[in-house]
Amino acid sequence: MQNPDRKDRSSRTGAVTMATVGRLAGVSQVTVSRALSDPAKVSPEAMGKIREAIEITGYVPNAIAGALASRRTRLITALVPSITNIVYSSLLHGFSDIMRGEGYQIMLSEIGFNAGDEEAAIAAHLSRRPDGLLLTGIHHSVPARRMLMAAAIPVVEIWDMTETPIDCCVGFSHADTGRLAADFAISAGYRHAATLSAGDERAERRRFAFAERFATATGNTVTAIGLPIGTATLEMGRQGVARLVDEGLLQNRLESTVIHCSSDVIAHGALIEARTRGLRVPEDLAIIGFGDQDFAAHTDPSLTTIRIDRDQLGRAAAEALLSRFAGDTSAPSIRLVGFELMRRGSA
């Protein structure tokens, strides 16, 4: 007979382990492990007794120990700028949905829009040995990239586009959205423009591309109003329009000025302020948003904006990781997701 103290050290720690279950079921710890991971390899009698023992003891597998032994955590970690921003949370919703369906759990960190905070977060995430990692954006510090490469796990960068991803990339060109907005504005006949843009890097690229394209086509410079980085608020949009008006930046033209906003929330705030000041939208002031949030179709006038299928983007990111896990080398490392301009009443 064997020494129980060596077979089930948990008797000393109080934890219910596979060995505890095995002893109760009259089988070894390994058989319990197999019963849980591959029931077909265990006899029906053993299965029955093991199930019963699990029920009695209330055994919950220790995924930490399992991960250490198998070198698979079934954990995906994700870094996003903000969780309260619907743009990122809806994207994570689609991502998590797929991942959870495949047995993966998601660990999440908010890192804001400050580039310097990403590195420490990546280190913390990698220490948990995730099977895969999701990053928002394509700009990462050199040490961060080095850590990621060394970790040698699938990494998906989303919500932007690069030809040279760390591993794979699912997103779109922010500059292209800005140019699309500009082309639309030009073809709609607008000849004067301004921008209301948060200071984060992606928003800046949208703004810059819009302004450049618009200025080139019309010969008129585009007035830029800078907004704080961080959570966009209606208040920011209102103040943006207020500045435009108070500082005489709109001037008194006979033609309407189109405002390119970095988000629908900013655009909505702009809309509200314009109405409050008696400006007609789009006759006096036209407004273009970004994101096509739920409310965009219901503002008065409804908001012309750029739509990205975020849920779909999240799902595509999940599929990119999953095909990496499956060792599918034919899977593309870059997936461009489309966007479209939703023409509504505001421009």
What does R_g of the chain's alpha carbons equal in angstroms?
Answer: 27
Backbone torsions φ then ψ of 130, nearest 5 degrees: -65, 155
3-state helix, strand, coil split of the chain in percent (to 5) is 50, 15, 35
**Three-state SS for 65?**
helix
Tell whether residue 298 is a contact of a copy of itself (CB under 8 A): yes
The residues, any chain, with a CB within 8 Å of residue 332's CB and separated by 6 or more, are 168
Cα 294 to Cα 204, 210, 310: the distances in Å are 24, 24, 12
Q: Which of 10, 11, 29, 109 binds a copy of itself (CB under 8 A)?
A: 109
Tell whether residue 70 is a contact of DNA (CB under 7 A): yes
Token pair 């939703």 in the structure block, residue = 342
Alpha helices, H only, 8-113? 10-13, 18-25, 29-37, 44-57, 63-70, 86-101
Per-residue x/- track, 27-56, a copy of itself (CB under 8 A): ------------------------------
Q: β-pairing, 105-110 with 75-80?
A: parallel
Q: Which of 51, 57, 61, 301 binds DNA (CB under 7 A)?
A: 61
Q: Which of 23, 24, 34, 260 binds DNA (CB under 7 A)?
A: 34
Tell whether residue 326 is a contact of a copy of itself (CB under 8 A): no
Neighbours of 83 (CB within 10 A): 13
Question: Token pair of 275, please?
Answer: 């109405």
Interaction with DNA in 98-157: which residues (CB under 7 A)? Answer: none
Angle CA 168–203–219, to nearest 5: 120
Tell whether residue 75 is a contact of DNA (CB under 7 A): no
Q: Which of 107, 115, 215, 331 binds a copy of itself (CB under 8 A)?
A: 107
Nearer Cβ to a copy of itself (128/253): 128
Supply the minimum distance, in Å, between the C-beta of residue 342 and a copy of itself: 15
213 binds, among a copy of itself, DNA, none (CB under 5 to 8 A by kind): none
Supply the minimum distance, in Å, between the C-beta of residue 2 and DNA: 5
278 binds, among DNA, a copy of itself, none (CB under 5 to 8 A by kind): none
Give the binding site for DNA (CB under 7 A): 2, 7, 9-10, 12-13, 15, 17-19, 22, 26-31, 33-34, 36-37, 40-43, 45-46, 61-62, 65-66, 68-71
